Amino acid sequence: MAEPIRMIERREETPEERRDRALAKLADQLALEEKAALRALELLALAEEKGLLPMLTALLARGDRVLAHAVDLLARDEYASALQNAIGLAQALGKFDPGALAKLVDGAAAGLADAQKQAEGSAKSLGIFELLGLLKDPDVAYAIRFCVGFLSGLGKSLRQERAPE
């Protein structure tokens, strides 16, 4: 008959086995995320080529001192108000519909391009009858209606803020 087991011997993993297991796990992960790994290596190579990697390494090595210096700078009055304005702007941008904001920015870019073309093409002044004729242009009429609607909404909001409660 077999003897009962009284003591369990735990097999310890050798450093070589631990290293081989880690390398196999890393190779599996690299195979899964090949594109990301190649991009990360390319990014590191570019950072090294441009001299950013040593700067970033030094910045991280002295992180506490750099952070303390940044906090000291931001505590100054001129930077504190700029930081408050930046936070307020970020909050305001969060209230906008992203699709409408993108459409507005695209429209503003197209409008600036058209305005630049028209300004380069003609140096004569705009007469009253020519201005009235432009009001018949559907694009001009749409833009004017948009601006009037914007001004109406802005006026309502400003008036509500001033109204006593």
User: Which residues, including other chains, have CB under 8 Å from residue 143's CB and lie 6 or more apart?
Assistant: 111
Q: What are the pLDDT digits (tens) for 4-22?
A: 888 888 888 899 999 999 9
- Mean pLDDT, residues 134-148: 91
Q: How confident is the model at residue 70 (pLDDT cuts 50, 70, 90)?
A: confident
Q: In a 3-state reduction of DSSP, which class is residue 122?
A: coil
Q: How confident is the model at residue 124 (pLDDT cuts 50, 70, 90)?
A: confident
Is this prediction's pTM over 0.85?
no
pLDDT confidence of residue 27: 92
* pLDDT surpassing 70 at residue 163: no
Q: What is the mean pLDDT of the chain?
A: 86
Q: What angle do CA 136, 111, 131 make, to 5 degrees?
A: 30
pLDDT confidence of residue 67: 85
Handedness of CA 73, 76, 81, 87 (dihedral sign): positive
Q: What are the pLDDT digits (tens) for 17-44?
A: 999 999 999 999 999 999 999 999 999 9
- Mean pLDDT, residues 157-164: 79
pLDDT confidence of residue 165: 55
- Burial of 102 per CB tally in 10 Å (0-12, 13-18, 19+): exposed
* pLDDT surpassing 60 at residue 51: yes
Question: Could you tell me if 74 and 83 are in contact, meaning their C-beta atoms sit under 8 angstroms apart?
Answer: yes
pLDDT confidence of residue 123: 67
Alpha-carbon distances, residue 16 vs 9, 29, 42, 70, 109 (angstroms)? 20, 20, 30, 45, 62
Question: Could you tell me if 47 and 56 are in contact, meaning their C-beta atoms sit under 8 angstroms apart?
Answer: yes
pLDDT confidence of residue 59: 85
